[in-house]
Chain A
């Protein structure tokens, strides 16, 4: 063991130290661009095409889980090195990164402002700051909100099952709560909704100002709309009409498969998750319709360019190309990620899209109209710090740990701390 071992230590170490594992730029004179992504942006084919038409450019994707992606990106920005040339910023955290805009390239420098009209107004605004002077990111997809429901469970509860009829049941969220009561009265063993948290989020997202006023001042304490949204969702929890599930978690998948809840707020991208979780056995049982209130959006991302990258210009060209309407349309067709550009989501072909699994629901239409009617809420710089506090508060109510009032008081206190 002895001498051979020592020899191989030396050899291995030398190998590792000498072979500078992977340099970033130009082994063969090509410009190397990296894309830091999470989940599935559906870029695989597009990237191959782009490399074929731009022989001097080599592109690689880095995919990790969203949570890791954000942690890594923050570390890389703090450390001043290592971030991908183009990074995806999810809607929920984009405001947080917006606060560190000097770590990013102002895309306006490369003429991004000329592209403004491609996107829905609110989507464009989410990606900019300084009154629109600083363009942080170009929008990719969006998460127009619909409401998914199990038609068979509705039938069992004596509720209508047709999606237009169902939509008529709940013009407002107050109506939605009434339907919940009717549902529970008939079928007490099935939960009406997976989690109250997303109901809360959906209601709040339909208000103009949430936790922060448009001047970025913290107003959660005085904003009645926050309290109203919270109370509505908490009431569902208190009456045990929610499944107290973490969306997309393992338990959530199981509940889907077992058919233990009847509705869920569903952004466009979540249809695939519902389908995967519920499985083939539930095909045609799930349907999707208009959500209560006026429109809604959950999720969707932006492509931004960290300043530390070596090739900002080339990176910008690539980001611009990937987010251009033609490409967005193709991504939609391949993955179902909903484009954030009116020209695309109002394209006849997109509008005509139906989802077979969801009882052939005209998802193109439903989501496009949701996006159209959306008056998005203003997201403060610290929105992503404050928001989760109210989410966990609702979970406490659902778990029976606290009353709605207790949960609210604690949430408000924590939120005020986080907003400091």
Chain B
């Protein structure tokens, strides 16, 4: 399958898919590069205007976007790294170690995923109040340091890619559980770990319901909080807001490019399995 050459038809189709996934982004870029009146046009505009720089400047004048980016970066990378490390460990345990109650504990993990996130906002807020975490970044980091998604995903990854023989061999050599994990488990699941890191980074970067409630828009804004400040007027300045949203995408794309080598590296598993 992999060896099958990709023909022009396939590329054509992918270009169409890509166009569909990019068009709304392109459209928001167009609005960001014009003034607000563009949305009132009868025929939708398709060519960028000349106000992009001005709109971006206004974004930085209106809110402390650097601080917001920095905060979002701290939040998203802490959440991503912690989910990768703790999730891989837990996934490894659930998939490749034997201990009493393992399967029922895993069912509990599954069950926790079903808890609606908006459900607990008020009690969670009260908890944050008691911890005196209102307006601090840990209020948005700590509750999601490790989620069921990470455990679930990494368990699957270990199931698929970590060979028992290698683990057994490592254990025979007297490796501790953690060393076994480090030398055998983790290297095998690196691609999936990169995918997980990427996705948790994105989720944390784009989360807004909870941050809006628990963060202080001046002292501790994340990008999404800052964006909502941009749209705070009676009159929504779409150009301003979409200019902000367009800048906010850049760091996530950068992370993707950084991690894409890891993700592409999935091919090397063949060798390990082989």
Contact = CB atoms under 8 A, between A and B. Distances in A.
B212 A68 contact: yes
A51 B41 CA distance: 44
Interface string A74-92: 0110111110000000000
B233 A39 contact: yes
A277 interface: yes
B226 to A, nearest CB: 10
B135 A82 contact: yes
B86 to A, nearest CB: 9
Interface of B: 36-37, 39-42, 71, 74, 77-78, 81-82, 84-85, 121-122, 125-126, 128-129, 134-138, 141, 182, 186, 190, 212-214, 216-220, 228-229, 231-236, 238, 262
B134 A9 contact: no
Contacts of B81: 5, 8-9, 12
Given A12-B81, A22-B136, A68-B212, A253 B234 contact: no
Interface in A11-62: 12-13, 15-17, 20-22, 24, 34, 38-40, 60-62
At the interface, is chain A mostly helix, strand, loop or mixed? helix
A22 B40 contact: no
Nearest to A60: B218
A237 to B, nearest CB: 24
Contacts of A277: 40, 235
For the complex of A and B, 4 pairs with smallest distance between CB atoms: A257-B40, A22-B219, A81-B129, A82-B134
B121 to A, nearest CB: 7
Contact of A81 (B39, B121, B134): B134
Contact of A257 (B37, B217, B234): B37
Contacts of B40: 253-254, 256-258, 277, 279
A417 to B, nearest CB: 22
A62 B217 contact: yes
Contact of A65 (B41, B82, B126, B231): B231
B129 A22 contact: no
Contacts of B217: 62-64
B78 A21 contact: no
12 contacts: A15-B74, A16-B137, A21-B136, A21-B219, A39-B233, A40-B233, A63-B217, A68-B228, A72-B212, A79-B134, A254-B39, A257-B37
Contacts of B190: 1
Contacts of B218: 34, 60-62
A6 B81 CA distance: 8
A256 B121 CA distance: 39
Given A1-B190, A257-B37, A16 B232 contact: no
Given A9-B78, A38-B232, A82-B125, 6 more contacts: A21-B137, A65-B231, A65-B232, A79-B122, A250-B39, A257-B41
A273 interface: yes
A155 interface: no
Contacts of A405: none
B193 to A, nearest CB: 9
B134 to A, nearest CB: 4
Interface of A: 1-2, 5-6, 8-9, 12-13, 15-17, 20-22, 24, 34, 38-40, 60-66, 68, 71-72, 75-76, 78-82, 248, 250, 253-254, 256-258, 269-270, 272-273, 276-277, 279
A79 B232 contact: no
Nearest to B217: A62
Contact of B78 (A16, A63, A79, A81): A16
A64 B216 contact: no
Contacts of B134: 79, 81-82
Contacts of B129: 79-82
Given A1-B190, A5-B81, A279-B37, A64 B229 contact: yes
A272 to B, nearest CB: 7
A82 B190 CA distance: 41
Nearest to B136: A21
A79 B141 contact: no
Contact of B126 (A13, A80, A279): A80
A47 to B, nearest CB: 12
Contacts of A64: 212, 217, 228-229, 232
Contacts of A16: 74, 78, 137-138, 141
Contacts of B234: 39-40, 66, 248, 269-270, 272-273
A276 B39 contact: no
A213 B32 CA distance: 49
B265 to A, nearest CB: 10
Nearest to B229: A63
B88 to A, nearest CB: 11
Contacts of B231: 65
B39 A72 contact: no
B220 A22 contact: yes
A272 B235 contact: yes
A96 B272 CA distance: 64
A5 B85 contact: yes
Contacts of B186: 2
A72 B134 CA distance: 12
A249 B138 CA distance: 35
A415 B77 CA distance: 47
Contact of A276 (B36, B125, B219): B36
B67 to A, nearest CB: 10
B5 to A, nearest CB: 32
Contacts of A1: 190, 262
A84 B32 CA distance: 32
B39 A253 contact: yes
Nearest to A269: B234
A250 B218 CA distance: 28
Nearest to B123: A79
B260 to A, nearest CB: 13
A214 B245 CA distance: 47
Given A64-B229, A80-B129, A72 B262 contact: no
A258 B84 CA distance: 52
